[in-house]
Structure 1
Amino acid sequence: MASSAPHRHLARAVGLPAEPVVAGQRACVAEHVRAGLDTHLRTLIAHDPGTRLGEDPEELHQMRVSVRRMRALLRSARPFLDRSWSEPLRAELGWLGRELGPVRDLDVLLARLRQETADLPGDERAAAARLVTGLKAEYGTARVEMLSALDSDRYLALLRAVVKATQTPTEKSDVDTERALRDLVIGQYRKLRKAVRRLPDDPADEQLHALRIRGKRLRYTAELAQPTLGTPARQLIKATRRFQDVLGEHQDACVAEQRVRELLRDLGDDVDTTVAFVAGRLVERERARRAEHRATWREAWDAVRTAADAI
């Protein structure tokens, strides 16, 4: 993680209190949301300096995950929140996620291609470097746009809005917190289960990607409920993480194959034969990975179903 001095400066600039928000086990759902927002905001701010520096891709990854988790909290707990503030806040978090996304996606793709070509002979590694030249230019442009967003007044206003949400007292509620959180988790699970049941025997890549997104929503909802629901929620989190990983690897393989094809096409008809050979080799590897994860995702789903039945 980058130096804590810029991190502390940003925390002061947006009015983040020194003490974190904590929700007791029997606190109402809105209090759990406040505590979750506070936790993820602190993580986001901690990784802001490293994201700007750009030396370690994990900094941006953690920042983007924090944004996604805050959005998921606000989405999952909508029935228990005042939508006059929660929906605008969720929309602004969506804006920030879109600003961070292109750089993170390119981080993943470039790292994947570097790993895939590391064991190639020298002439083929050089050909691979020529193949990804366009990606590096795209990465530079995306970083400029991302940094512009992070330097904007809109970004600071968003962080201040999250701080305000974490510090606004919630009204007392007679709702049974444990039951309410369990219902939220079960609701997300049923949406995922319905989506799985609607799939054909051989789903399209886009359908599996949509399934992964639903799985992520279930996981984040389970994380919200875990302090109250305990071990059953932890088991569900573990199962959904595995489910996400399998479908995430499938999606990464799909994206990598598509981007390699695009890069080759952009080089034109007179492309060097070695570059074309390397591109074909990369496509072949990604297809094999995609097939591998297609063969295992239903097994991961069975584990999610078993864990959800115990909630």
Structure 2
Amino acid sequence: MGSGGVVKQVRSGLATRLAALREHAPGTREGSDPEELHQMRVSVRRMRAMLQSARPFLDRERSEPLRAELGWLGRALGPVRDLDVLLEHLREEAADLPEQEAAARLLAGLDAEYAHARGDLLAALDSDRYRELLARLEAATEGLPAAKSESDGGEKALRDLVLRQFRKLREDVDALDADPPDERLHALRIRGKKVRYTAELAEPALGKPVRRLIKAAKNFQDVLGEHQDACVAEQRLRELAGGSDAEAAFVAGRLVEREELRKADRRARWPEAWAKLAEEAQQLRGGSR
């Protein structure tokens, strides 16, 4: 399998994710099940990651504009999904508090923000730009061209794609100090997600070693994702408290305390998740550096 084989994997992956995007689009429009939007957004992110990771093998005049348009769609989906996650979590956390009316007042601002974001999302899905993107993705599943200068291909090429993404992550981890700021941990999560999505592209060809790495990358991503969710929740609660009455601000303070505990727990856990991911990457590398 030459570089054309890598491109074939990308085309296949795009076809799978495009089918998922279309499957979940009606539910995203309807809006009653947040999982529909989540799956649609994941499909967009995975397609973008495939195109980025396989850039050395692709005709960039075709692949990069497509990746940019997927970025536009991801940004259209993101605010609603982020608010879905935030509101669900905060409502669960507030459910055992006695100040239920104050909690409802506190979160009312997020409800209004959510309604506005939903309007923007629906406008994007109703746009000519979205329909044109679907058509371009459909064409790419069959005719996305390879780069004119072909590189080494086969399983080695796919393994190298995964390990290249992992090396970028390892460099970022190695550059951290003992107590990294929140934004650096968030950047690690994004890097880890790229490792995972690139591994998923390679999984059909590389099999079990990559499946183990995918599992470890997912755990790494999840731990740091929960840390980031806690950071965002804490920040938004502080913002909401600033414009709230005294009782609602008190509720915000209690919820902030819980987010601080969640952050501390995930900070303590992420090095272990990283060590497991590094171990699996070493196995994929075949025991050599």
Question: Smaller-chain TM-score range?
Answer: over 0.9
SS of the counterpart of 2:178? coil
Q: Hey, what's the Cα distance between the residues in 1 that align with 2:16 and 2:80?
A: 24
Partner of 1:63: 40
Q: Identity across aligned pairs (percent)?
A: 64
Change beyond 3 A, Cα 1:87–1:170: closer
Q: CA deviation at 1:207?
A: 0.2
Q: Hey, what's the Cα distance between the residues in 2 that align with 1:211 and 1:75?
A: 17
Pairwise mapping of residues 72-221 of structure 1 onto structure 2 (< 5 A)?
72-121=49-98, 124-168=99-143, 175-221=152-198
Q: Hey, what's the Cα distance between the residues in 2 that align with 1:169 and 1:207?
A: 35
CA contact (8 A) 2:231 2:259 kept: yes
The one-letter amino acid paired with 1:79 is P
Partner of 1:11: none
SS of the counterpart of 1:183? helix
The one-letter amino acid paired with 1:252 is D
Q: TM-score, normalised by structure 1?
A: 0.88
Q: Hey, what's the Cα distance between the residues in 1 that align with 2:158 and 2:72?
A: 27
Partner of 1:46: 23
Q: Hey, what's the Cα distance between the residues in 2 that align with 1:41 and 1:58?
A: 17
Q: CA deviation at 1:25?
A: 12
Q: Hey, what's the Cα distance between the residues in 1 that align with 2:277 and 2:210?
A: 11
Q: TM-score, normalised by structure 2?
A: 0.95
Partner of 1:21: none
160-169 or 24-33, larger mean C-alpha shift: 24-33
The one-letter amino acid paired with 2:231 is C
CA contact (8 A) 1:26 1:228 kept: no
Q: Hey, what's the Cα distance between the residues in 2 that align with 1:48 and 1:25?
A: 35
Q: CA deviation at 1:27?
A: 6.9
Partner of 1:233: 210
CA contact (8 A) 1:73 1:224 kept: yes
Say how many residue pairs are matched: 282
Partner of 1:292: 265
Q: Hey, what's the Cα distance between the residues in 2 that align with 1:90 and 1:170?
A: 14
The one-letter amino acid paired with 1:143 is R
Change beyond 3 A, Cα 1:252–1:276: same
Structure 1 segments of 4+ aligned residues over 4 angstroms from their partners: 24-27, 169-174
CA contact (8 A) 2:62 2:144 kept: no
Change beyond 3 A, Cα 1:161–1:281: same
The one-letter amino acid paired with 2:123 is S
CA contact (8 A) 1:25 1:228 kept: no
SS of the counterpart of 1:55? coil
Q: Hey, what's the Cα distance between the residues in 1 that align with 2:252 and 2:116?
A: 24
SS of the counterpart of 1:203? coil
Q: Hey, what's the Cα distance between the residues in 2 that align with 1:212 and 1:198?
A: 15
Q: Hey, what's the Cα distance between the residues in 2 that align with 1:239 and 1:25?
A: 28
The one-letter amino acid paired with 1:299 is E
Change beyond 3 A, Cα 1:138–1:174: closer
Deviations 1:3-35 (A, max 9, x none): xxxxxxxxxxxxxxxxxxxxx999700000000
CA contact (8 A) 2:57 2:151 kept: no
Deviations 1:24-49 (A, max 9, x none): 99970000000000000000000000
Stretches of structure 2 lacking an aligned partner (at least 5 in a row):
285-289
CA contact (8 A) 2:163 2:281 kept: yes
Change beyond 3 A, Cα 1:230–1:27: farther
Q: Hey, what's the Cα distance between the residues in 1 that align with 2:208 and 2:106?
A: 48
The one-letter amino acid paired with 2:64 is E
Structure with higher RCO (Cα < 8 A, 6+ apart): 2
Q: CA deviation at 1:169?
A: 6.6
* TM-align CA RMSD: 1.6
Q: CA deviation at 1:119?
A: 1.4
CA contact (8 A) 2:2 2:153 kept: no
